[in-house]
């Protein structure tokens, strides 16, 4: 019963561009059988060009307020999805740009790297644009499988393989949760489409709905809590962050989190909107637990990547506060928070990727950063900005992100959530400013260049991205409106 | 003056200077450092000039906000960039613009490492302070209020003493903990009022039950900032470890943010809650005055002693504010300005000898009068001003506060005046131990008197202390209309039969003062 129209393909042009680029890179890579760093670098440049092209097509094709559904109602686009796609595409391009030289330094010379990032991005775009539980599943699996391979890319290292295996097994478990939930939902409704489901729930009153639907809801919430590494499904995060090569960690922390969070919110506010009271209490709990654990568990970490993992858990707790609000304000806050989070996280990892710690193996411990404010004042300055911003201190962008989520929580009457949120943010500030302390306040060893990161890997791409991120964070207060307006439009696109 | 946004220029001028310094940042040589010093000094002097122009054009007869600038900052949120000055904020703006150049000159030769960063931190701090005192939008207010933390954290942490990490952390986390609760209250008000405009919120009545919570949230922030007993423990640590100029800014301006917040926001916005909590505030203030004075008596470290004396002096401020009486409130503002000058000068005095001997222990000093007569005179002026000797600004502030409080609560006023006696005890004893006596420490034998740069630093402070002490009228006239306005807003809501002074009488008193 499939009948393709040409206009359908035109609408998914960004996805097509990225897929073609990925295939192109795979073809060139496997036929040339060339493992010189310069060759891999060129492939990465192709990938970045692909991203920019896709981004351009996306922006030029989209008209504000427009909405279309295609592929038999499987794929949808509106202002909400448009903003989300911009985020995912820029995040992928940004991470690729900052990571290439360090991948080469880490001797990860596989041409699959840019191709896998492209394929993961296609998965995310599909996931975000899904209008049906099955197309969502396809996208989810596509990005997850690409990420598992990316995590295992450094085959010679035990830690990396171990991390990849953990990620894969737990990820597969989460996916089964999702599938189980969807099947239960199908058993209730006989449909996998978002719109049909919401229509069915609307017909019945909430009291007479079968229990299976609530179980389905819980399973789906659990699986996405896993994807966004929210407590109590966070266990994989510190291990995977620590085990993976730094560049891959950066990618896992950036784009997939955003994509998963956005579709999580979309699921809650579109198909399950009428079960608001049911899912809200679950998400309030998950958000509370994530904020508390993210704040307190990170205090004792000495490993930088584990610290950032707990920091991500905490940050996701704040975003979930916006999800829990579930209203217009909540949607806006999720978008604003995620946008700023992406810039901060790409910037932070970008700085870390520039530095080499002891034995030139990349910074691992927090102490590895001591003295870089003298050796590399600019990198230290930029990293300090990102740390203060992650802590949410004005005048940096992170403050506006926090402000938005607290505003959402209060608008929905979730006062206790907001109070716990601000208190944990103070606790979390401790470890963010600890990094600033290590960089700026600690005395430097007598011969810093021997024991501490002397080498610095910079490339033009990296400099551009780092400067862009820093400028965004520093001067967000002066020009906040483009992001805020996009977020507002995204919120308006949802049926309420 | 309507053509140029004078106030906004004043606020953002220091930031411009900071950008100018950072644009040529990177090479670490002496010329670079000197450049940064001069750019910072000139920027802050021009800012001082701008604030004097504001003073020139300021009309004291009205309680309206003047030099208002308003444009949409985040239209999506209905948040605007709205700044303006009235008689309560202008003194603090002037105080800030006066103290920053003094700080820059004072750290001219004592700061040797990372000079450009140091100057950038001070200029950014100045922008934040000026913005905070003139903000008329809640989000903007909070933005500047908390934005002070980053530069101050770096100033304490990078250029501070041996135990600077602990002090910097404590300062940062303690004050942040207070302010985040205020953020929630601000967001709540934002939804209640339908916008974040402060003048709009000031005229919006809030439900008395909610007021209690909102008041407490603001209290958490301001009480830590001022600081009130028992939230003061961050202050001695921060003062002791901060570099001299950092202590000057901390005592001179940062502490005033709390008092300013109480006057600007807590009293007029939450009159019911404020009057409910007045006994609590009086109790805490009196405890602060007496307890910290006693603690100050026991200190061996000069900076710590002055830090504790600051807490005691700020106790007078909160006493005056919550008397909600024309004299009490004017006295509170007066006391804050005068404390800004005096404590800044006292920390500079400690800095002068610290630069020479590298010790803050009182026991290491003695007999300084023999080697440093000019220093002894300057130090004496400020010690006596701190004691509250008539003829110095310290007297005017404390006297007005006691007068205002006496009308409302005799006990509080009596106990507070007991604190003044204790204040005289620790201050004069400190002076005796440092300046008089026999010179025991051999290091002191070769110590030099004030050099010209230090003399330049002290001159405006001595002048300010004496002028405000002998003829305080200009400052009192400047603020009386605005103070009367705050009191009106407070009393208009509360029942005039409440046992407090009624509105007509308070206006009459304000007018009477003006005729003088």
Beta bridge partners of B74: B79
pLDDT at A450: 47
B187–A395 C-beta distance less than 8 A: no
d(CA B123, CA A436): 20
Residues of B in contact with A441 (CB under 8 A): 157-158, 164-165, 168
Can you read off the two tokens belonging to residue A233? 């499904």
- Identify the pLDDT of residue A312: 94
Q: Does B176 touch chain A (CB under 8 A)?
A: yes
Is residue A422 less than 8 Å (CB to CB) from chain B?
yes
Minimal C-alpha gap between A209 and chain B (Å): 35
pLDDT at B329: 92
Chain A positions touching B32 (Cβ under 8 A) are none
Pairing of strands B79-85, B66-74: antiparallel
Cα distance between residue A126 and residue A296, in whole Å: 36
The CA distance from A362 to the nearest CA of chain B, in Å, is 24
Using an 8 Å Cβ cutoff, are A257 and A229 in contact? yes
Position with higher pLDDT, A117 vs B366: A117
Q: Is B25 exposed, middle or buried (0-12, 13-18, 19+ CB in 10 A)?
A: middle
Residue A21 φ/ψ, nearest 5 degrees = -60, -45
User: Pick the residue with more confidence: B26 or B279?
Assistant: B279
> What is the pLDDT averaged over residues B121-137?
93
Nearest CB to B176; choose among A406, A429, A481: A429
pLDDT at B353 over 70: yes
pLDDT of residue A358: 52
Of A215-229, B95-109, B204-218, B429-443, the poorest mean pLDDT is in: B429-443
Instruction: Tell me the chain A residues in contact with residue B172 when contact means C-beta distances shorter than 8 Å.
Output: 429, 433
Contacting residues of B for A393, CB less than 8 Å apart: 146-147, 149-150, 176
Is B77 in CB contact (< 8 Å) with chain A? yes
Residues B191, A441: C-beta atoms closer than 8 Å: no
Digit-by-digit pLDDT tens for chain A (496 residues) are 455 555 577 888 999 999 999 999 999 988 887 777 788 888 889 999 999 999 999 999 888 888 888 888 888 989 999 999 999 999 999 999 988 777 766 667 788 889 999 999 999 999 999 999 999 999 999 999 999 999 888 878 888 888 899 999 999 999 999 999 999 988 888 888 888 888 887 766 666 778 888 899 999 999 999 999 998 899 899 999 988 888 889 999 999 999 999 999 999 988 888 888 888 999 999 999 999 999 999 998 888 889 999 999 999 999 999 999 988 899 999 999 999 999 999 999 998 888 765 555 667 788 878 777 877 888 888 999 999 999 999 889 999 999 999 999 999 999 999 999 999 999 999 999 999 988 888 766 655 544 554 566 778 888 899 999 999 999 999 899 999 999 999 999 887 6
| Strand, helix or coil for residue A443 | coil
Chain A partners of B25 at a C-beta cutoff of 8 Å?
377
CB within 8 Å: B149 and A407: no
Out of A406, A433, A488, the one facing B153 most closely (by C-beta) is A433
- Rounded CA-CA distance B433/B364 in Å is 9
Residue B361 — φ and ψ, nearest 5°?
A: -70, 130
Helix H or strand E segment including B127: helix B115-134
Query: Over 90: is that where the pLDDT of B97 sits?
Result: yes
User: What's the pTM?
Assistant: 0.92
Question: What chain A residue is nearest to B26 in terms of C-alpha separation?
Answer: A377
Tell me whether residues B191 and A411 touch, CB distance under 8 A: yes
Distance CA A186, CA B484 (A): 69
Residue A440 and residue B121: Cα distance in Å, rounded? 14
Give the closest-approach CA distance of A308 to chain B in angstroms: 20
Q: What is the distance between the alpha carbons of residues B422 and B298, in angstroms, rounded to a whole number?
A: 12
Of A406, A437, A441, the CB nearest to B184: A406
Quick check: A479 contacting B, CB < 8 Å?
no
State the smallest CA–CA distance between residue A404 and chain B in angstroms: 10
For chain B, the residue count is 516
pLDDT of B510 reads 53
**B181 and A422 in contact by Cβ < 8 A?**
yes
Round to whole Å and give the CA distance between A92 and A122. 10
Residue B114's pLDDT band, with cuts at 50, 70 and 90, is confident
Report the gap between the CA of B365 and the closest CA in chain A (Å).
Answer: 30
Assign 3-class secondary structure to B174-232. Answer: HHHHHHHHHHHHHHHHHHHHCCCEHHHHHCCCCCHHHHHHHHHHHHHHHHHHCCCCCCC
Q: Does A167 touch chain B (CB under 8 A)?
A: no
- Mean pLDDT on B469-494: 86
Residue with tokens 């030769």: B109
Nearest residue of A to residue B186 by CA position? Answer: A407
A425 CB within 8 Å of a chain B CB: yes
pLDDT at B345: 93
> What is the rounded distance in angstroms from the CA atom of residue A92 to the CA atom of residue A72?
28
């Amino acid at each position: 019963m499939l009948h393709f129209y040409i206009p359908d393909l035109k609408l998914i042009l960004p996805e097509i561009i990225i897929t073609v680029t990925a295939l192109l890179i795979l073809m060139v890579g496997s036929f040339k059988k060339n493992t010189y760093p310069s060759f891999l670098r060129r492939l990465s440049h192709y990938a970045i060009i692909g991203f920019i092209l896709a981004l351009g097509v996306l922006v030029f094709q989209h008209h504000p307020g427009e909405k279309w559904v295609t592929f038999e109602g499987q794929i949808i686009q509106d202002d909400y999805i448009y903003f989300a796609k911009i985020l995912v595409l820029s995040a992928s391009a940004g991470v690729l740009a900052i990571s290439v030289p360090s991948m080469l330094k880490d001797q990860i010379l596989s041409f699959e790297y840019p191709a896998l990032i492209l394929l993961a991005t296609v998965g995310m775009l599909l996931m975000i644009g899904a209008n049906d539980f099955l197309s969502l599943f396809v996208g989810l699996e596509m990005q997850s499988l690409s990420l598992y391979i990316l995590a295992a890319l450094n085959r010679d290292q035990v830690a990396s393989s171990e991390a990849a295996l953990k990620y894969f097994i737990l990820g597969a478990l989460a996916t089964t949760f999702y599938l189980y939930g969807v099947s239960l939902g199908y058993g209730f409704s006989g449909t996998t489409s978002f719109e049909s489901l919401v229509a069915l729930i609307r017909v019945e009153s909430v009291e007479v709905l079968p229990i299976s639907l609530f179980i389905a809801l819980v399973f789906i919430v659990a699986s996405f809590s896993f994807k966004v590494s929210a407590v109590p499904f966070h266990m994989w995060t510190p291990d995977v962050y620590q085990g993976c090569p730094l560049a891959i960690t950066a990618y896992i922390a950036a784009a997939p989190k955003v994509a998963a969070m956005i579709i999580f919110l979309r699921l809650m506010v579109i198909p399950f909107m009428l079960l608001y009271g049911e899912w809200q209490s679950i998400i309030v709990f998950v958000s509370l637990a994530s904020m508390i654990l993210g704040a307190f568990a990170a205090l004792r970490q000495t490993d930088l990547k584990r610290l950032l993992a707990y920091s991500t858990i905490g940050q996701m707790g704040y975003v979930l506060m916006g999800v829990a609000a579930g209203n217009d304000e909540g949607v806006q806050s999720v978008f604003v928070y995620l946008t700023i989070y992406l810039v901060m996280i790409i910037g932070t990892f970008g700085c870390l990727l520039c530095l080499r710690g002891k034995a030139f193996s990349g910074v691992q411990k927090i102490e590895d950063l001591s003295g870089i404010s003298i050796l590399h004042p600019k990198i230290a300055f930029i990293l300090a900005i990102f740390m203060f911003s992650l802590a949410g201190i004005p005048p940096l962008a992170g403050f506006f992100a926090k402000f938005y989520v607290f505003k959402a929580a209060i608008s929905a009457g979730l006062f206790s959530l907001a109070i716990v949120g601000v208190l944990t943010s103070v606790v979390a500030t401790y470890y963010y400013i600890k990094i600033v302390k290590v960089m700026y306040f600690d005395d430097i060893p007598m011969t810093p260049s021997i024991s501490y990161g002397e080498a610095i890997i910079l490339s033009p791409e990296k400099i551009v991205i780092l400067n862009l991120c820093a400028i965004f964070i520093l001067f967000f207060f002066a020009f906040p409106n483009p992001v805020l307006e996009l977020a507002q439009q995204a919120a308006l696109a949802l049926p309420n | 003056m309507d053509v140029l946004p004078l106030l906004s220029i004043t606020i953002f001028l220091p930031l411009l200077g900071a950008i100018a310094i950072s644009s040529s940042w990177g090479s670490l040589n002496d010329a670079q450092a000197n450049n940064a010093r001069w750019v910072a000094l000139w920027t802050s002097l021009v800012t001082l000039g701008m604030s004097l122009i504001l003073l020139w054009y300021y009309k004291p007869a009205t309680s309206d906000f003047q030099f208002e600038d308003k444009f949409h900052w985040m239209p999506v949120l209905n948040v605007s960039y709205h700044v303006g000055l009235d008689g309560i904020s202008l003194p603090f703006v002037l105080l800030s613009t006066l103290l920053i150049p003094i700080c820059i000159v004072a750290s001219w030769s004592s700061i040797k490492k990372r000079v450009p960063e140091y100057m950038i931190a001070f200029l950014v701090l100045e922008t934040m302070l000026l913005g905070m005192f003139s903000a008329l939008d809640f989000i903007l207010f909070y933005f500047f209020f908390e934005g002070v933390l980053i530069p101050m954290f770096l100033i304490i942490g990078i250029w501070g003493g041996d135990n600077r990490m602990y002090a910097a952390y404590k300062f940062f986390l303690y004050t942040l903990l207070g302010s985040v609760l205020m953020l929630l209250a601000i967001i709540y008000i934002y939804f209640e009022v339908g916008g974040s405009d402060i003048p709009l919120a000031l005229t919006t009545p809030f439900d008395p039950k909610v007021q209690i919570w909102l008041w407490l949230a603001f209290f958490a922030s301001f009480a830590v900032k001022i600081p009130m007993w028992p939230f003061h423990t961050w202050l001695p640590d921060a003062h002791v470890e901060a570099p001299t100029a950092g202590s000057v800014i901390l005592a001179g301006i940062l502490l005033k943010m709390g008092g300013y917040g109480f006057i600007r926001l807590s009293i007029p916005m939450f009159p019911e809650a404020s009057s409910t909590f007045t006994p609590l505030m009086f109790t805490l203030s009196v405890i602060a005055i007496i307890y910290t004075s006693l603690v100050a008596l026991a200190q061996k470290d000069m900076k710590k002693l002055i830090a504790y004396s600051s807490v005691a002096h700020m106790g007078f401020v909160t006493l005056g504010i919550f008397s909600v009486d024309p004299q009490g409130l004017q006295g509170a503002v007066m006391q804050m300005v005068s404390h800004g000058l005096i404590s800044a000068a006292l920390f500079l005095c400690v800095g002068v000898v610290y630069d020479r001997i590298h010790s803050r222990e009182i026991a290491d000093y003695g007999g300084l009068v023999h080697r440093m007569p000019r220093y002894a005179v300057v130090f004496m002026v400020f010690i006596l001003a701190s004691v509250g000797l008539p003829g110095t600004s310290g007297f005017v502030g404390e006297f007005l506060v006691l007068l205002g409080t006496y009308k409302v609560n005799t006990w509080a006023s009596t106990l507070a005046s007991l604190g003044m006696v204790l204040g005289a005890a620790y201050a004069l004893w400190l002076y005796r131990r440092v300046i008089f006596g026999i010179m025991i420490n051999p290091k002191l034998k070769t110590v030099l008197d004030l050099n010209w740069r230090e003399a330049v630093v002290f001159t405006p402070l001595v002048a300010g202390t004496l002028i405000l002490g002998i003829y305080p009228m200009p400052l009192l006239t400047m603020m009386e209309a605005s103070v009367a306005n705050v009191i009106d807003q407070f009393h208009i809501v509360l029942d005039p039969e409440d046992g407090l002074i009624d509105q007509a009488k308070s206006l009459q008193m304000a007018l009477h003062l003006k005729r003088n």
